[in-house]
Structure 1
Amino acid sequence: MNRVYDGIMGLVVGDALGVPVEFCERDTFCVADMIGGGTHGLPAGTWSDDGSLALATLESLGRRRRIDLRDIMDNFVRWYARNEFTPYHSVFDIGNTTRKAIGLYMQGVGVESCGGRSIADNGNGSLMRILPLAFVPHTDEDVAAVSALTHAHPISTGACEEYVRIAELLLAGGGPEEAARLYDDEYDIRKKPRADVRSGGYVLDTLDAAVWCFATTSSYRECVLKAVNLGGDTDTTAAVAGGLAGIYYGSSGGRGIPQEWQAQIARGEWIAELCEADFFNGAAR
Protein backbone atom coordinates (compact mmCIF):
# COMPACT_ATOMS: atom_id res chain seq x y z
CA MET A 1 0.00 0.00 0.00
CA ASN A 2 1.35 3.42 -0.97
CA ARG A 3 -0.23 6.08 1.21
CA VAL A 4 1.50 8.80 -0.81
CA TYR A 5 -0.27 7.64 -3.95
CA ASP A 6 -3.57 7.37 -2.07
CA GLY A 7 -3.39 10.96 -0.90
CA ILE A 8 -1.94 12.52 -4.03
CA MET A 9 -4.25 10.65 -6.40
CA GLY A 10 -7.12 11.53 -4.08
CA LEU A 11 -6.19 15.19 -4.48
CA VAL A 12 -5.72 15.01 -8.26
CA VAL A 13 -8.96 13.12 -8.90
CA GLY A 14 -10.90 15.59 -6.76
CA ASP A 15 -9.31 18.44 -8.68
CA ALA A 16 -10.22 16.88 -12.04
CA LEU A 17 -13.81 16.27 -10.95
CA GLY A 18 -14.21 19.93 -10.09
CA VAL A 19 -12.50 21.51 -13.11
CA PRO A 20 -15.50 21.35 -15.51
CA VAL A 21 -17.78 23.22 -13.10
CA GLU A 22 -15.28 25.63 -11.55
CA PHE A 23 -16.94 28.95 -10.64
CA CYS A 24 -20.45 27.57 -11.23
CA GLU A 25 -23.07 28.58 -8.70
CA ARG A 26 -24.21 26.00 -6.17
CA ASP A 27 -27.24 23.92 -7.17
CA THR A 28 -27.18 25.06 -10.80
CA PHE A 29 -25.56 21.74 -11.76
CA CYS A 30 -25.07 18.21 -10.45
CA VAL A 31 -21.85 16.28 -11.00
CA ALA A 32 -22.15 12.54 -10.48
CA ASP A 33 -19.12 11.25 -12.42
CA MET A 34 -15.90 12.30 -14.11
CA ILE A 35 -16.81 14.58 -17.02
CA GLY A 36 -15.10 16.91 -19.46
CA GLY A 37 -16.00 20.17 -21.14
CA GLY A 38 -17.63 22.83 -19.02
CA THR A 39 -15.82 25.89 -17.69
CA HIS A 40 -12.49 25.27 -19.38
CA GLY A 41 -13.58 22.98 -22.23
CA LEU A 42 -11.02 20.30 -21.35
CA PRO A 43 -11.11 16.47 -21.53
CA ALA A 44 -12.33 14.40 -18.59
CA GLY A 45 -9.50 13.68 -16.15
CA THR A 46 -7.78 17.06 -16.57
CA TRP A 47 -6.37 18.50 -13.36
CA SER A 48 -5.64 22.16 -12.76
CA ASP A 49 -3.07 24.34 -10.99
CA ASP A 50 -4.04 22.60 -7.74
CA GLY A 51 -2.70 19.27 -8.94
CA SER A 52 0.21 20.84 -10.81
CA LEU A 53 1.58 22.71 -7.80
CA ALA A 54 1.04 19.77 -5.45
CA LEU A 55 2.91 17.52 -7.90
CA ALA A 56 5.66 20.12 -8.35
CA THR A 57 6.10 20.13 -4.56
CA LEU A 58 6.04 16.33 -4.40
CA GLU A 59 8.63 16.00 -7.16
CA SER A 60 11.03 18.32 -5.38
CA LEU A 61 10.66 16.48 -2.07
CA GLY A 62 11.26 13.11 -3.70
CA ARG A 63 14.26 14.23 -5.76
CA ARG A 64 15.98 16.46 -3.18
CA ARG A 65 15.11 14.15 -0.26
CA ARG A 66 14.45 17.18 1.92
CA ILE A 67 12.39 20.37 2.03
CA ASP A 68 14.28 22.70 -0.29
CA LEU A 69 12.38 25.97 -0.62
CA ARG A 70 14.36 27.26 -3.59
CA ASP A 71 13.95 23.99 -5.45
CA ILE A 72 10.20 23.92 -4.84
CA MET A 73 9.96 27.49 -6.14
CA ASP A 74 12.12 26.54 -9.13
CA ASN A 75 9.56 23.84 -9.89
CA PHE A 76 6.79 26.43 -9.68
CA VAL A 77 8.67 28.46 -12.29
CA ARG A 78 9.03 25.36 -14.47
CA TRP A 79 5.25 25.03 -14.25
CA TYR A 80 4.36 28.68 -14.81
CA ALA A 81 6.95 29.59 -17.44
CA ARG A 82 7.57 26.25 -19.18
CA ASN A 83 4.25 24.41 -18.75
CA GLU A 84 5.83 21.50 -16.87
CA PHE A 85 3.85 19.58 -14.24
CA THR A 86 0.69 20.07 -16.31
CA PRO A 87 -1.66 17.48 -17.83
CA TYR A 88 -1.35 18.69 -21.43
CA HIS A 89 1.66 21.05 -21.47
CA SER A 90 -0.50 24.09 -20.86
CA VAL A 91 -1.21 26.24 -17.80
CA PHE A 92 -4.87 27.20 -17.86
CA ASP A 93 -5.50 28.41 -14.31
CA ILE A 94 -3.49 30.38 -11.74
CA GLY A 95 -4.40 32.50 -8.74
CA ASN A 96 -3.33 36.12 -8.54
CA THR A 97 -1.30 35.75 -5.34
CA THR A 98 0.54 32.74 -6.74
CA ARG A 99 1.20 34.50 -10.04
CA LYS A 100 2.63 37.53 -8.26
CA ALA A 101 4.87 35.46 -5.99
CA ILE A 102 6.32 33.41 -8.84
CA GLY A 103 6.83 36.58 -10.83
CA LEU A 104 8.79 38.18 -7.99
CA TYR A 105 10.97 35.09 -7.69
CA MET A 106 11.68 35.17 -11.42
CA GLN A 107 12.82 38.78 -10.95
CA GLY A 108 15.37 37.70 -8.36
CA VAL A 109 13.49 38.24 -5.09
CA GLY A 110 14.47 35.74 -2.38
CA VAL A 111 12.12 32.88 -1.57
CA GLU A 112 11.50 34.27 1.89
CA SER A 113 10.09 37.52 0.46
CA CYS A 114 7.90 36.44 -2.46
CA GLY A 115 4.71 35.35 -0.76
CA GLY A 116 1.81 37.73 -0.24
CA ARG A 117 1.52 39.01 3.32
CA SER A 118 -1.60 41.17 3.25
CA ILE A 119 -5.05 40.16 4.46
CA ALA A 120 -6.10 40.06 0.80
CA ASP A 121 -3.52 37.33 0.13
CA ASN A 122 -5.51 34.57 1.82
CA GLY A 123 -6.85 32.66 -1.13
CA ASN A 124 -6.50 28.88 -1.05
CA GLY A 125 -3.48 28.72 -3.37
CA SER A 126 -1.06 27.28 -0.82
CA LEU A 127 -3.55 25.02 0.95
CA MET A 128 -4.29 23.21 -2.32
CA ARG A 129 -0.64 22.17 -2.75
CA ILE A 130 0.55 21.58 0.83
CA LEU A 131 -0.45 17.89 1.24
CA PRO A 132 2.96 16.44 0.19
CA LEU A 133 4.46 17.84 3.41
CA ALA A 134 2.41 15.27 5.36
CA PHE A 135 4.48 12.46 3.81
CA VAL A 136 7.93 13.68 4.89
CA PRO A 137 9.58 14.65 8.17
CA HIS A 138 8.67 18.26 8.92
CA THR A 139 7.85 20.84 11.56
CA ASP A 140 5.01 23.35 11.63
CA GLU A 141 7.61 25.93 10.68
CA ASP A 142 8.46 23.92 7.55
CA VAL A 143 4.81 23.80 6.53
CA ALA A 144 4.47 27.55 7.10
CA ALA A 145 7.59 28.22 5.04
CA VAL A 146 6.32 26.18 2.08
CA SER A 147 2.99 27.97 2.26
CA ALA A 148 4.78 31.31 2.46
CA LEU A 149 6.46 30.78 -0.89
CA THR A 150 3.24 32.23 -2.29
CA HIS A 151 0.91 32.83 0.69
CA ALA A 152 2.74 34.21 3.72
CA HIS A 153 -0.07 35.70 5.78
CA PRO A 154 -0.56 33.89 9.12
CA ILE A 155 -4.12 32.91 8.18
CA SER A 156 -2.83 30.96 5.18
CA THR A 157 0.19 29.45 6.88
CA GLY A 158 -1.95 28.46 9.87
CA ALA A 159 -4.56 26.80 7.64
CA CYS A 160 -1.83 24.79 5.93
CA GLU A 161 -0.42 23.67 9.27
CA GLU A 162 -3.86 22.57 10.42
CA TYR A 163 -4.55 20.65 7.21
CA VAL A 164 -1.24 18.81 7.36
CA ARG A 165 -1.91 17.88 11.00
CA ILE A 166 -5.25 16.36 9.96
CA ALA A 167 -3.55 14.41 7.18
CA GLU A 168 -0.95 13.14 9.66
CA LEU A 169 -3.74 12.02 11.98
CA LEU A 170 -5.26 9.97 9.17
CA LEU A 171 -1.88 8.49 8.25
CA ALA A 172 -1.54 7.43 11.89
CA GLY A 173 -4.87 5.57 11.80
CA GLY A 174 -7.39 8.24 12.74
CA GLY A 175 -10.70 8.67 10.94
CA PRO A 176 -13.37 11.25 10.15
CA GLU A 177 -14.56 11.61 13.73
CA GLU A 178 -11.06 12.23 15.04
CA ALA A 179 -10.37 14.61 12.16
CA ALA A 180 -13.48 16.62 13.00
CA ARG A 181 -12.45 16.77 16.65
CA LEU A 182 -8.90 17.83 15.83
CA TYR A 183 -10.24 20.51 13.51
CA ASP A 184 -12.51 21.97 16.19
CA ASP A 185 -12.86 20.34 19.59
CA GLU A 186 -15.50 22.88 20.68
CA TYR A 187 -17.93 22.45 17.79
CA ASP A 188 -18.83 19.33 15.83
CA ILE A 189 -18.45 20.41 12.21
CA ARG A 190 -20.58 17.44 11.16
CA LYS A 191 -23.63 19.30 12.51
CA LYS A 192 -23.03 22.31 10.27
CA PRO A 193 -25.87 22.82 7.75
CA ARG A 194 -24.87 22.69 4.07
CA ALA A 195 -26.25 26.19 3.60
CA ASP A 196 -23.64 27.50 6.06
CA VAL A 197 -20.70 25.83 4.31
CA ARG A 198 -18.91 28.35 2.12
CA SER A 199 -17.04 27.13 -0.96
CA GLY A 200 -15.35 30.16 -2.44
CA GLY A 201 -11.64 30.87 -2.70
CA TYR A 202 -10.93 32.09 0.85
CA VAL A 203 -8.50 29.68 2.48
CA LEU A 204 -10.44 29.19 5.74
CA ASP A 205 -13.66 28.54 3.84
CA THR A 206 -11.91 25.93 1.71
CA LEU A 207 -10.43 24.16 4.72
CA ASP A 208 -13.77 24.22 6.52
CA ALA A 209 -15.67 22.89 3.50
CA ALA A 210 -13.11 20.15 2.87
CA VAL A 211 -13.18 18.91 6.47
CA TRP A 212 -16.97 19.08 6.47
CA CYS A 213 -17.20 16.98 3.30
CA PHE A 214 -14.76 14.41 4.67
CA ALA A 215 -16.37 14.24 8.11
CA THR A 216 -19.94 13.87 6.83
CA THR A 217 -19.42 11.13 4.23
CA SER A 218 -18.43 7.48 4.23
CA SER A 219 -16.51 6.91 0.98
CA TYR A 220 -14.10 8.71 -1.30
CA ARG A 221 -16.70 9.03 -4.05
CA GLU A 222 -19.29 10.50 -1.71
CA CYS A 223 -16.80 12.94 -0.21
CA VAL A 224 -15.47 14.47 -3.43
CA LEU A 225 -18.83 14.64 -5.16
CA LYS A 226 -20.24 16.40 -2.13
CA ALA A 227 -17.35 18.86 -2.37
CA VAL A 228 -17.75 19.50 -6.10
CA ASN A 229 -21.48 20.04 -5.80
CA LEU A 230 -20.99 22.81 -3.27
CA GLY A 231 -20.18 24.98 -6.28
CA GLY A 232 -17.81 27.93 -6.38
CA ASP A 233 -14.15 26.94 -6.25
CA THR A 234 -15.10 23.36 -7.01
CA ASP A 235 -11.71 22.00 -8.05
CA THR A 236 -9.87 23.24 -4.98
CA THR A 237 -12.54 22.24 -2.46
CA ALA A 238 -12.62 18.74 -3.95
CA ALA A 239 -8.82 18.54 -4.18
CA VAL A 240 -8.35 19.44 -0.52
CA ALA A 241 -11.16 17.13 0.59
CA GLY A 242 -9.98 14.43 -1.80
CA GLY A 243 -6.49 14.39 -0.35
CA LEU A 244 -7.91 13.51 3.07
CA ALA A 245 -10.39 10.98 1.69
CA GLY A 246 -7.71 9.36 -0.45
CA ILE A 247 -5.46 8.83 2.55
CA TYR A 248 -8.28 7.40 4.63
CA TYR A 249 -10.16 5.25 2.10
CA GLY A 250 -7.24 4.34 -0.14
CA SER A 251 -7.07 3.81 -3.88
CA SER A 252 -8.73 0.40 -4.04
CA GLY A 253 -11.76 -1.32 -2.58
CA GLY A 254 -15.39 -0.35 -2.53
CA ARG A 255 -14.96 2.88 -0.59
CA GLY A 256 -11.66 3.96 -2.11
CA ILE A 257 -10.90 6.13 -5.13
CA PRO A 258 -12.86 4.56 -8.01
CA GLN A 259 -10.60 2.73 -10.43
CA GLU A 260 -12.42 4.18 -13.43
CA TRP A 261 -11.66 7.69 -12.22
CA GLN A 262 -8.00 6.90 -11.68
CA ALA A 263 -7.81 5.47 -15.21
CA GLN A 264 -9.11 8.73 -16.69
CA ILE A 265 -6.54 10.96 -15.01
CA ALA A 266 -4.08 12.57 -17.42
CA ARG A 267 -0.48 11.35 -16.93
CA GLY A 268 -1.58 8.88 -14.30
CA GLU A 269 1.49 6.66 -14.67
CA TRP A 270 3.82 9.62 -14.19
CA ILE A 271 1.93 10.65 -11.05
CA ALA A 272 2.28 7.11 -9.69
CA GLU A 273 6.04 7.20 -10.37
CA LEU A 274 6.45 10.43 -8.41
CA CYS A 275 4.77 8.76 -5.43
CA GLU A 276 7.31 5.91 -5.44
CA ALA A 277 10.37 8.02 -4.52
CA ASP A 278 12.48 6.30 -1.87
CA PHE A 279 12.36 9.36 0.37
CA PHE A 280 8.68 8.71 1.08
CA ASN A 281 9.11 5.06 2.11
CA GLY A 282 9.51 5.44 5.86
CA ALA A 283 6.97 8.19 6.35
CA ALA A 284 3.94 6.97 4.47
CA ARG A 285 3.87 3.27 3.68
Structure 2
Amino acid sequence: MDIYERILGGLFGVACGDALGGTLEFMSEDEIQRKHGYLKDIIGGGCWDLEPGEVTDDTMMTIAVAEGILDNPENPIEDIGNHFIGWYDSSPKDIGNIIRIALSEYKRSDDWTKTAYYAHQTTGGKSAGNGSLMRCLPVALYYSDVKKMLEITASQSLLTHYDRKATDACQFYNLLVYDYLNGKPKVPAIREHIDNYPEYKKVFLMLKNELEPSGYVFDTLICALWCFVNTSSFEEAVCEAANLGGDADTVAAITGGLAGVYYGYDAIPDRWKEKILVKDQLVSIAKRIIVKYRSQG
Protein backbone atom coordinates (compact mmCIF):
# COMPACT_ATOMS: atom_id res chain seq x y z
CA MET A 1 0.00 0.00 0.00
CA ASP A 2 1.26 3.48 -0.87
CA ILE A 3 2.42 5.44 2.20
CA TYR A 4 0.29 8.42 1.15
CA GLU A 5 -2.82 6.25 1.43
CA ARG A 6 -1.82 5.33 4.99
CA ILE A 7 -1.13 8.96 5.97
CA LEU A 8 -4.44 10.11 4.52
CA GLY A 9 -6.15 7.12 6.13
CA GLY A 10 -4.84 8.06 9.55
CA LEU A 11 -5.97 11.67 9.31
CA PHE A 12 -9.40 10.81 7.94
CA GLY A 13 -9.63 7.96 10.44
CA VAL A 14 -9.36 10.39 13.34
CA ALA A 15 -11.94 12.73 11.79
CA CYS A 16 -14.44 10.01 10.90
CA GLY A 17 -14.21 8.44 14.35
CA ASP A 18 -14.61 11.86 15.91
CA ALA A 19 -17.63 12.79 13.77
CA LEU A 20 -19.34 9.43 14.32
CA GLY A 21 -18.59 9.31 18.05
CA GLY A 22 -19.56 12.93 18.63
CA THR A 23 -23.21 11.98 18.25
CA LEU A 24 -22.88 9.47 21.10
CA GLU A 25 -20.74 11.50 23.49
CA PHE A 26 -21.57 10.92 27.18
CA MET A 27 -24.29 8.36 26.40
CA SER A 28 -24.36 4.89 27.95
CA GLU A 29 -24.56 1.80 25.76
CA ASP A 30 -28.18 1.34 26.87
CA GLU A 31 -29.05 4.91 25.90
CA ILE A 32 -27.38 4.45 22.53
CA GLN A 33 -29.28 1.24 21.94
CA ARG A 34 -32.61 2.88 22.74
CA LYS A 35 -32.04 5.98 20.62
CA HIS A 36 -29.89 4.77 17.71
CA GLY A 37 -29.72 1.00 17.87
CA TYR A 38 -26.14 0.60 16.66
CA LEU A 39 -24.99 3.83 15.03
CA LYS A 40 -23.13 3.35 11.74
CA ASP A 41 -23.69 6.70 10.02
CA ILE A 42 -22.40 10.21 10.62
CA ILE A 43 -25.54 12.14 11.47
CA GLY A 44 -24.40 14.96 13.76
CA GLY A 45 -26.49 16.08 16.73
CA GLY A 46 -25.61 14.79 20.15
CA CYS A 47 -24.70 16.90 23.16
CA TRP A 48 -22.69 19.32 21.01
CA ASP A 49 -25.45 19.74 18.43
CA LEU A 50 -23.01 18.90 15.64
CA GLU A 51 -23.62 19.33 11.95
CA PRO A 52 -23.30 16.01 10.09
CA GLY A 53 -19.55 15.72 9.44
CA GLU A 54 -18.59 18.38 11.98
CA VAL A 55 -15.60 17.38 14.12
CA THR A 56 -14.65 18.24 17.68
CA ASP A 57 -11.45 18.99 19.58
CA ASP A 58 -9.96 15.59 18.72
CA THR A 59 -9.59 16.40 15.04
CA MET A 60 -8.98 20.12 15.41
CA MET A 61 -6.09 19.55 17.82
CA THR A 62 -4.73 16.81 15.54
CA ILE A 63 -4.72 19.41 12.75
CA ALA A 64 -2.97 21.86 15.08
CA VAL A 65 -0.21 19.33 15.83
CA ALA A 66 0.24 18.62 12.13
CA GLU A 67 0.37 22.29 11.18
CA GLY A 68 2.90 23.03 13.92
CA ILE A 69 5.16 20.25 12.68
CA LEU A 70 4.87 21.44 9.09
CA ASP A 71 5.67 25.01 10.16
CA ASN A 72 8.88 24.03 11.92
CA PRO A 73 9.82 20.33 11.68
CA GLU A 74 13.11 20.60 13.55
CA ASN A 75 11.63 22.21 16.66
CA PRO A 76 7.85 22.25 16.35
CA ILE A 77 6.61 22.49 19.95
CA GLU A 78 6.24 26.28 20.16
CA ASP A 79 4.49 26.26 16.78
CA ILE A 80 2.16 23.45 17.87
CA GLY A 81 1.33 25.49 20.95
CA ASN A 82 0.60 28.55 18.82
CA HIS A 83 -1.86 26.52 16.75
CA PHE A 84 -3.49 25.27 19.98
CA ILE A 85 -3.99 28.88 21.07
CA GLY A 86 -5.39 29.85 17.67
CA TRP A 87 -7.93 27.05 17.99
CA TYR A 88 -8.69 27.91 21.64
CA ASP A 89 -9.34 31.52 20.68
CA SER A 90 -11.93 30.37 18.12
CA SER A 91 -14.30 29.46 21.00
CA PRO A 92 -14.71 25.76 20.10
CA LYS A 93 -17.82 23.85 21.17
CA ASP A 94 -15.84 21.07 22.81
CA ILE A 95 -12.67 21.48 24.85
CA GLY A 96 -11.49 19.10 27.56
CA ASN A 97 -11.08 20.37 31.11
CA ILE A 98 -7.32 19.73 31.39
CA ILE A 99 -6.65 21.39 28.05
CA ARG A 100 -8.89 24.35 28.89
CA ILE A 101 -6.99 24.93 32.15
CA ALA A 102 -3.58 24.52 30.50
CA LEU A 103 -4.29 26.83 27.57
CA SER A 104 -5.90 29.48 29.78
CA GLU A 105 -2.75 29.39 31.92
CA TYR A 106 -0.60 29.92 28.82
CA LYS A 107 -2.75 32.93 27.92
CA ARG A 108 -1.97 34.30 31.40
CA SER A 109 1.72 33.39 31.72
CA ASP A 110 2.91 33.20 28.09
CA ASP A 111 5.11 30.31 29.22
CA TRP A 112 4.64 26.74 27.94
CA THR A 113 6.89 25.34 30.69
CA LYS A 114 4.18 26.19 33.25
CA THR A 115 0.98 25.10 31.54
CA ALA A 116 0.85 21.35 32.10
CA TYR A 117 2.02 21.49 35.72
CA TYR A 118 -0.51 24.21 36.48
CA ALA A 119 -3.29 22.03 35.06
CA HIS A 120 -1.93 19.06 37.02
CA GLN A 121 -2.06 21.01 40.27
CA THR A 122 -5.44 22.58 39.56
CA THR A 123 -7.03 19.17 38.92
CA GLY A 124 -5.59 17.71 42.11
CA GLY A 125 -3.02 15.64 40.24
CA LYS A 126 -5.58 14.16 37.84
CA SER A 127 -3.92 15.09 34.56
CA ALA A 128 -3.80 11.63 32.94
CA GLY A 129 -6.62 12.48 30.55
CA ASN A 130 -6.79 11.41 26.92
CA GLY A 131 -6.47 14.90 25.41
CA SER A 132 -2.86 14.55 24.31
CA LEU A 133 -3.37 11.02 22.99
CA MET A 134 -6.24 12.08 20.73
CA ARG A 135 -4.02 14.52 18.81
CA CYS A 136 -0.59 12.84 18.68
CA LEU A 137 -0.90 10.83 15.44
CA PRO A 138 0.69 13.41 13.06
CA VAL A 139 4.01 13.08 14.89
CA ALA A 140 4.28 9.43 13.85
CA LEU A 141 3.11 10.26 10.33
CA TYR A 142 5.84 12.85 9.82
CA TYR A 143 9.03 11.72 11.56
CA SER A 144 10.87 8.74 10.08
CA ASP A 145 13.52 8.78 12.83
CA VAL A 146 11.99 6.83 15.73
CA LYS A 147 13.98 8.60 18.43
CA LYS A 148 12.92 12.03 17.14
CA MET A 149 9.34 10.82 16.75
CA LEU A 150 9.17 9.65 20.38
CA GLU A 151 10.77 12.88 21.62
CA ILE A 152 8.25 15.10 19.81
CA THR A 153 5.39 12.80 20.82
CA ALA A 154 6.30 13.30 24.47
CA SER A 155 6.87 17.04 24.11
CA GLN A 156 3.50 17.71 22.48
CA SER A 157 1.81 15.75 25.28
CA LEU A 158 3.62 17.76 27.94
CA LEU A 159 2.24 21.04 26.61
CA THR A 160 -0.99 20.22 28.44
CA HIS A 161 -0.73 16.84 30.23
CA TYR A 162 1.82 16.54 33.03
CA ASP A 163 1.12 12.94 34.06
CA ARG A 164 3.59 10.35 32.74
CA LYS A 165 0.70 7.99 31.93
CA ALA A 166 -0.42 10.39 29.19
CA THR A 167 3.09 10.56 27.74
CA ASP A 168 3.45 6.76 27.82
CA ALA A 169 0.12 6.24 26.07
CA CYS A 170 1.05 8.70 23.33
CA GLN A 171 4.41 7.03 22.76
CA PHE A 172 2.97 3.51 22.72
CA TYR A 173 0.25 4.58 20.30
CA ASN A 174 2.68 6.36 17.98
CA LEU A 175 5.05 3.40 17.92
CA LEU A 176 2.13 1.36 16.57
CA VAL A 177 1.20 4.06 14.05
CA TYR A 178 4.84 4.17 12.91
CA ASP A 179 4.89 0.39 12.46
CA TYR A 180 1.60 0.30 10.53
CA LEU A 181 2.80 3.16 8.34
CA ASN A 182 5.65 0.86 7.42
CA GLY A 183 3.40 -2.14 6.75
CA LYS A 184 3.87 -4.26 9.88
CA PRO A 185 1.10 -6.75 10.77
CA LYS A 186 -1.54 -5.76 13.31
CA VAL A 187 -1.09 -7.93 16.41
CA PRO A 188 2.68 -8.63 16.09
CA ALA A 189 3.34 -4.88 16.19
CA ILE A 190 1.37 -4.56 19.42
CA ARG A 191 3.10 -7.56 20.98
CA GLU A 192 6.50 -6.16 19.98
CA HIS A 193 6.01 -2.98 22.04
CA ILE A 194 3.63 -3.99 24.80
CA ASP A 195 6.37 -5.39 27.07
CA ASN A 196 7.48 -1.78 27.56
CA TYR A 197 3.90 -0.84 28.51
CA PRO A 198 2.89 -3.93 30.51
CA GLU A 199 -0.27 -2.43 32.02
CA TYR A 200 -1.84 -2.69 28.55
CA LYS A 201 -1.29 -6.45 28.26
CA LYS A 202 -4.70 -7.12 29.74
CA VAL A 203 -6.30 -5.93 26.47
CA PHE A 204 -5.76 -9.44 25.08
CA LEU A 205 -7.73 -10.98 27.95
CA MET A 206 -10.65 -8.57 28.27
CA LEU A 207 -14.27 -8.99 27.29
CA LYS A 208 -16.14 -6.15 25.63
CA ASN A 209 -18.33 -5.56 28.68
CA GLU A 210 -15.20 -4.89 30.75
CA LEU A 211 -14.19 -1.86 28.68
CA GLU A 212 -14.53 1.58 30.26
CA PRO A 213 -14.76 4.39 27.68
CA SER A 214 -13.81 7.10 30.16
CA GLY A 215 -11.64 10.18 29.69
CA TYR A 216 -8.76 8.50 31.56
CA VAL A 217 -5.97 7.91 29.05
CA PHE A 218 -5.37 4.29 30.06
CA ASP A 219 -9.06 3.37 29.69
CA THR A 220 -9.25 5.14 26.34
CA LEU A 221 -6.25 3.40 24.83
CA ILE A 222 -7.40 0.01 26.15
CA CYS A 223 -10.77 0.57 24.45
CA ALA A 224 -9.15 1.64 21.19
CA LEU A 225 -6.73 -1.30 21.13
CA TRP A 226 -9.51 -3.76 21.96
CA CYS A 227 -11.76 -2.48 19.17
CA PHE A 228 -8.87 -2.53 16.70
CA VAL A 229 -7.64 -6.01 17.63
CA ASN A 230 -11.08 -7.64 17.80
CA THR A 231 -12.36 -6.47 14.40
CA SER A 232 -11.26 -6.98 10.82
CA SER A 233 -12.16 -3.74 9.01
CA PHE A 234 -11.90 -0.01 9.52
CA GLU A 235 -15.65 0.50 9.72
CA GLU A 236 -16.16 -2.31 12.21
CA ALA A 237 -13.38 -1.08 14.50
CA VAL A 238 -14.63 2.52 14.58
CA CYS A 239 -18.29 1.55 15.00
CA GLU A 240 -17.39 -0.69 17.93
CA ALA A 241 -15.44 2.16 19.51
CA ALA A 242 -18.11 4.83 19.04
CA ASN A 243 -20.96 2.63 20.22
CA LEU A 244 -19.25 2.05 23.55
CA GLY A 245 -20.53 5.50 24.47
CA GLY A 246 -18.87 7.50 27.23
CA ASP A 247 -16.07 9.59 25.74
CA ALA A 248 -17.20 8.26 22.39
CA ASP A 249 -15.69 10.86 20.06
CA THR A 250 -12.20 10.47 21.50
CA VAL A 251 -12.25 6.67 21.78
CA ALA A 252 -13.48 6.42 18.19
CA ALA A 253 -11.02 9.05 16.92
CA ILE A 254 -8.05 7.24 18.47
CA THR A 255 -9.30 3.91 17.13
CA GLY A 256 -9.86 5.52 13.73
CA GLY A 257 -6.35 6.94 13.56
CA LEU A 258 -4.79 3.56 14.20
CA ALA A 259 -7.17 1.68 11.91
CA GLY A 260 -6.90 4.34 9.20
CA VAL A 261 -3.13 3.96 8.96
CA TYR A 262 -3.38 0.16 9.09
CA TYR A 263 -6.20 -0.34 6.56
CA GLY A 264 -5.59 2.80 4.47
CA TYR A 265 -7.76 5.60 3.13
CA ASP A 266 -9.60 3.45 0.60
CA ALA A 267 -10.89 1.21 3.42
CA ILE A 268 -12.78 4.11 5.05
CA PRO A 269 -16.42 4.21 3.90
CA ASP A 270 -17.03 6.87 1.25
CA ARG A 271 -20.27 7.85 2.97
CA TRP A 272 -18.16 8.93 5.96
CA LYS A 273 -15.27 10.60 4.14
CA GLU A 274 -17.53 12.71 1.97
CA LYS A 275 -19.28 14.21 5.01
CA ILE A 276 -16.18 15.44 6.87
CA LEU A 277 -16.35 19.24 6.87
CA VAL A 278 -12.57 19.70 7.28
CA LYS A 279 -11.68 17.19 4.56
CA ASP A 280 -9.81 19.76 2.46
CA GLN A 281 -7.55 20.60 5.41
CA LEU A 282 -6.81 16.91 5.97
CA VAL A 283 -5.92 16.35 2.31
CA SER A 284 -3.67 19.42 2.35
CA ILE A 285 -1.82 18.17 5.44
CA ALA A 286 -1.34 14.69 3.94
CA LYS A 287 0.01 16.17 0.69
CA ARG A 288 2.52 18.32 2.57
CA ILE A 289 3.65 15.41 4.74
CA ILE A 290 4.19 13.13 1.76
CA VAL A 291 6.48 15.70 0.11
CA LYS A 292 9.00 14.89 2.84
CA TYR A 293 8.94 11.16 2.06
CA ARG A 294 9.24 11.73 -1.68
CA SER A 295 12.14 14.15 -1.26
CA GLN A 296 13.99 11.42 0.64
CA GLY A 297 13.58 9.09 -2.34
Per the TM superposition, whether the score is higher than 0.5 is yes
Q: Which of these residues, 176, 181, 184, is aligned with residue 186 of structure 2? A: 176
Backbone CA RMSD of aligned residues: 2.0
Alignment of 1:47-196 (within 5 A): 47-81=55-89, 83=90, 91-115=92-116, 116-117=119-120, 119-137=125-143, 138-182=148-192, 184=194, 187=201, 189-196=203-210
> What SS does structure 1 have at the residue aligned with 2:69?
helix
Q: Deviations over 1:170-198 (max 9, x none)?
A: 11212321244245357463441011111
Q: Which of these residues, 5, 13, 16, is aligned with residue 13 of structure 1? A: 16
8 Å contact from structure 2 (residues 44, 50) kept in 1:
yes
8 Å contact from structure 2 (residues 139, 149) kept in 1:
no
The structure that is helix-richer by fraction is 2
Shift of 1:279: 6.6
* TM-score (ref. length: structure 2): 0.87
Shift of 1:105: 1.3
Report the equivalent of 1:87.
Answer: none
8 Å contact from structure 2 (residues 115, 159) kept in 1:
yes
Report the equivalent of 1:86.
Answer: none
C-alpha spacing 1:280/1:27, structure 2 compared with 1 (3 Å): farther
* TM-score (ref. length: structure 1): 0.90
Q: Deviations over 1:193-241 (max 9, x none)?
A: 0111111100000011101111111100000000001110000000000
8 Å contact from structure 1 (residues 180, 189) kept in 2:
no
Q: Distance in 2 between matches of 1:176 and 1:27?
A: 31
Identity %: 35
Q: Deviations over 1:65-117 (max 9, x none)?
A: 33421111110110011x2xxxxxx5100111101111111123421221134
Shift of 1:15: 0.5
Report the equivalent of 1:246.
Answer: 260
Report the equivalent of 1:26.
Answer: 29
Q: Deviations over 1:2-41 (max 9, x none)?
A: 1221111111110000001100012321212211222222
C-alpha spacing 1:64/1:184, structure 2 compared with 1 (3 Å): closer
Q: Distance in 2 between matches of 1:238 and 1:134?
A: 19
8 Å contact from structure 1 (residues 127, 240) kept in 2:
yes
Q: Distance in 2 between matches of 1:279 and 1:60?
A: 16
C-alpha spacing 1:208/1:158, structure 2 compared with 1 (3 Å): same
C-alpha spacing 1:207/1:239, structure 2 compared with 1 (3 Å): same
